[in-house]
Amino acid sequence: MGKDSPDRIDLLQGTLDMLILRTLIFGPAHGHQIAKHIQRTTEEMLQVEHGSLYPALHRLERKGWIAAKWEPAAKELKREFKFYRLTAAGKKQLVAEESKWKKMTAAIARVMWPATEEEKG
């Protein structure tokens, strides 16, 4: 899906942070792996550009929610990648973000698809 595709969805502010934290719950990953995981998991609907991903990773690192470490690439030991992992504070933040996300999406759903009187019970 191209950058200007009409089906492309722009992420709400803060959503990318939550998706990165959620991706890292599965274990350490480098930036490209994080972006690809989000892309694959959303069936190509969300494509995280490097210009958005790396500033978000640095922001999360500054907040102490993720930690980074340079490590050799699995296949080629001559090359290093910066691997990011979730910290205890990041796990706590993810729980808070997921809770806020559920409340927000429920509120938006109530506006978009109001319940009829019969559904209210």
Q: What is the pTM of this model?
A: 0.84
In order of 22, 55, 70, 108, the CA distances from 87 in angstroms are: 12, 18, 16, 31
Non-local (6+) Cβ contacts of 81 within 8 A are 30, 31, 32, 70, 71, 72, 73
Residue 79 pLDDT = 86
**CATH entry, 15-120, from 1.10.10.10, 3.40.1180.10, 1.10.150.530, 2.40.160.100:** 1.10.10.10
Domain boundaries, the chain: 15-120
- 1 pLDDT band (50/70/90 cuts)? very low
The answer to whether 50 and 61 are in contact (CB under 8 A) is no
* pLDDT tens for each residue of 13-50: 689 999 999 999 999 999 999 999 999 999 999 999 99
